[in-house]
């Protein structure tokens, strides 16, 4: 499939699944989703756990008991899929939307790490839970409440049947804090990562990543410009390939905003009183006139990850330069319009995106600064630490 066609399909998917489906169902709170289901289909591939069952707890599903370490698994998003790759696991058999898992764009940065999302089943297009029964995974790494609130095709009884007859669910929708149905605990990226490490019994890999992450944070703090030199940033999802309108994305506590929180940028949209597109069920859009009133110093555009930086500048930015209103934006005139990264990110993708954003936002401060060593990431993934 051509890249432009892929982008159109992703944008249509955003509108249909992320927005339209929310309006089509009533928010269902955490209720009683907990329990102690047992992962009974798993095959052990971790030493030291052959004869010992273990349990791991996470909201909203509660305590999940495992007789063996799961090997065949499904993931709701590339956030959790990326965690599994970081923990040295085989890729999941399926993810909710393959188009949001930009594997080549990020794993190509890490030597010896390769994942092909095209080999995964696209669960979001299944239309029923039959695909879960057909795959027969040992574990479903996904938040069941998220599934029933963000999809028209799945109801709570469907999830309960899959949990009973196939394998347990384990996950939490940590990507955004803007959903009214999420009335239970959130986790940071590394809190959730640590939970999954317990499930896969890969605590040593997690600890190695956590140490690397701490060092990255220290490097960021040591090089960040003073508060007065940090830019105002507008993060948006375009409506169409030649965008005239945009879905606004404000920086929240979810994993999707982690790189911008860590780099301490100013949220131009939130400061202007613009609500996040998720918070309004996708009803909020802004045009160039509104954007010009805000006039952010930097504009970050999401969903263009299958464009090279050069192609993005030659197409999207060029369109904005020739737009009668867009051409007046200071970010356009100053060359400060960039690809903003995907919505979903696990620990590996976050490292790549954070270094990219640091060089986009603070080119002088981070020139020649390496936030992380790609070979070290590869070594951790392959168990060399």
Is 298 within the bounds of a domain? no
Q: Which range, 100-109, 153-162, 178-187, 349-358, is most confident? A: 349-358
Is 366 within the bounds of a domain? no
pLDDT value at residue 104: 73
pLDDT value at residue 253: 93
Q: Among all chains, which residue has been given the structure tokens 């620990």?
A: 347
pLDDT tens, position by position, 4-46: 444 444 444 444 444 333 333 333 444 555 544 344 333 343 3
Is 328 within the bounds of a domain? no
Q: Of the ranges 30-34, 341-345, 360-364, which one carries the lowest mean pLDDT score?
A: 30-34
pLDDT value at residue 32: 54
| Position 203 confidence tier, pLDDT thresholds 50, 70, 90 | very high
Is 362 within the bounds of a domain? no
pLDDT value at residue 265: 96
> From CA 383, how far away is CA 377, in angstroms rounded?
10
Is 306 within the bounds of a domain? no
pLDDT value at residue 283: 75
Range of the domain at 33: 28-213
Q: Which CATH number characterizes residue 83's domain?
A: 3.40.50.1980
Query: Does residue 249 carry a pLDDT above 60?
Result: yes
Strands 73-75 and 38-39 turn out to be unpaired
Residue 273: which residues within 8 A CB-CB, separation 6 or more?
Answer: none
Query: Does residue 128 carry a pLDDT above 70?
Result: yes
Query: Does residue 186 carry a pLDDT above 60?
Result: yes
Buried-exposed string 324-359: b where 16+ CB fall within 10 A, e elsewhere: eebeebebbeeebbbbbbbbbbbbbbbbbbbbbbbb
Is 280 within the bounds of a domain? no
Helix (H) or strand (E) holding 186: none
Exposed (0-12), middle (13-18) or buried (19+): which is 210, by Cβ within 10 Å? middle
Instruction: Look at phi and psi of residue 300 and say left if phi exceeds 0, alpha if psi is from -120 to 50, else beta.
Output: beta
Q: What mean pLDDT comes out for the span 131-142?
A: 95
Is 246 within the bounds of a domain? no
Q: What is the number of structural domains in the chain?
A: 1
Is 34 within the bounds of a domain? yes
Residue 287: which residues within 8 A CB-CB, separation 6 or more?
Answer: 244, 245, 246, 325
pLDDT tens, position by position, 272-324: 999 888 777 777 899 999 999 999 999 999 988 888 899 999 999 999 999 99
């Amino acid at each position: 499939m051509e890249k432009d066609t892929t982008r159109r399909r992703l944008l249509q998917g955003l509108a249909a699944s992320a927005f339209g489906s929310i309006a089509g169902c009533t928010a269902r709170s955490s209720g009683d989703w907990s329990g102690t289901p047992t992962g009974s289909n798993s095959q052990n591939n971790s030493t030291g756990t052959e004869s010992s069952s273990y349990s791991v707890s996470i909201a909203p599903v509660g305590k999940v008991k495992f007789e063996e370490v799961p090997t065949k698994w499904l993931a709701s998003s590339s956030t959790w899929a990326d965690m599994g790759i970081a923990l040295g696991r085989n890729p999941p058999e399926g993810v909710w939307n393959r188009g949001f898992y930009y594997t080549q764009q990020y794993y190509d940065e890490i030597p010896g790490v390769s994942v092909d999302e095209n080999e995964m089943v696209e669960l979001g297009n299944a239309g029923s839970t039959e695909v879960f029964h057909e795959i027969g995974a040992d574990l479903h790494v996904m938040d069941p409440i998220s599934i029933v609130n963000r999809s028209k095709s799945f109801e709570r009884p469907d999830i309960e049947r899959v949990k009973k007859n196939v394998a347990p669910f384990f996950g939490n929708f940590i990507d955004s804090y803007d959903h009214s149905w999420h009335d239970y605990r959130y986790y940071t990226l590394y809190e959730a990562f640590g939970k999954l490490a317990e499930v896969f019994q890969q605590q040593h890999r997690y600890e190695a990543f956590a140490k690397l992450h701490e060092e990255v944070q220290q490097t960021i703090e040591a090089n960040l410009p003073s508060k007065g030199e940090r830019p105002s940033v507008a993060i948006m999802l375009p409506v169409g390939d030649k965008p005239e309108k945009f879905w606004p994305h404000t920086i929240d506590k979810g994993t999707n905003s982690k790189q911008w929180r860590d780099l301490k940028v100013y949220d131009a949209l939130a400061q202007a009183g613009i609500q996040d597109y998720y918070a309004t069920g996708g009803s909020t859009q802004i045009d160039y006139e509104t954007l010009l009133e805000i006039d952010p110093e930097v504009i970050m555009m999401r969903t263009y990850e299958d464009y090279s930086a050069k192609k993005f500048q030659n197409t999207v930015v060029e369109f904005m330069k020739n737009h009668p209103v867009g051409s007046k934006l200071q970010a356009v005139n100053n060359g400060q319009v960039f690809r903003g990264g995907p919505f979903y990110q696990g620990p590996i993708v976050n490292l790549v995106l954070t270094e990219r954003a640091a060089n986009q936002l603070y080119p002088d401060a981070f020139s020649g600064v390496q936030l992380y060593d790609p070979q070290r990431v590869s070594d951790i993934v392959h168990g060399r630490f």
